[in-house]
Amino acid sequence: MSIEDLPASLYDAFARVGQALASPHRLRILNILSQSERSVEELATRLDQSMANTSTHLKVLKQARLVVGRRQGKHVYYGLANEATQRLWLSLRDLGLTELPEVRDLMHTYAEEPHSLSMLRTPELMERAARGEVIVLDLRSTREFETGHLPGARSIPAAELDQRIKDLPTDRTIVAYCRGPYCVTAIQGVEKMRAAGLDAHRAVDGVLEWRAAGLPIEPSDHVA
């Protein structure tokens, strides 16, 4: 290849990344994998897609070097390729929020949601959690929690909240989070907790946003 052909070859390679991102299903895969690795079967279930379609999407992402796979027994598990892929997904997501009016309109509903908190990164709230004044509640799956969670967080997967809501104290503020600002799990969980008489609020940020800000993430030591 001559030096004159270099720019065209580079842009062809960059375009493969852009093409890999040009699918709502593949973007959902990136978002899911930003929390923890998943098998093809698990991804297909989460996406409500066939195994064949999910495998095709994963192949495109893998060819663009956005995901990596590993085989364990009869299953293949996929995760994001690296932290650069995490940053790419966050940048793309935030660009859409900043520049696309329809995205801003959709998110305006979230902004008007009265029980959301955007201050989870503040040292004051973390100090209050450490003193036991505030409970930080992770509503993601156990696997996602064990992969990494916000400092001091407790785990109650959203699917178990109805059965375990009675175990939460009524004399402390509860700050719940899930998979970031675009995940409705925390909104639904907060509604249930407030209906049960708890002082519950939603944290806008999740693990991915916390990590991107350079703040510490804890590995699992227990599941409360």
What are the residue numbers of the active site?
Answer: 178
Residue 163 token pair: 């059965």
Q: What is the DSSP string of 115-157?
A: TEES-TTSHHHHHHHHTTSEEEEE-S-HHHHHH-B-TT-EE--
Q: In the 3-class helix/strand/coil scheme, how is 57-103 assigned residue by residue?
A: HHHHHHHCCCEEEEEECCEEEEEECCHHHHHHHHHHHHHHHHHCHHH
Give the end-to-end CA distance of the chain in Å, rounded to a whole number: 59
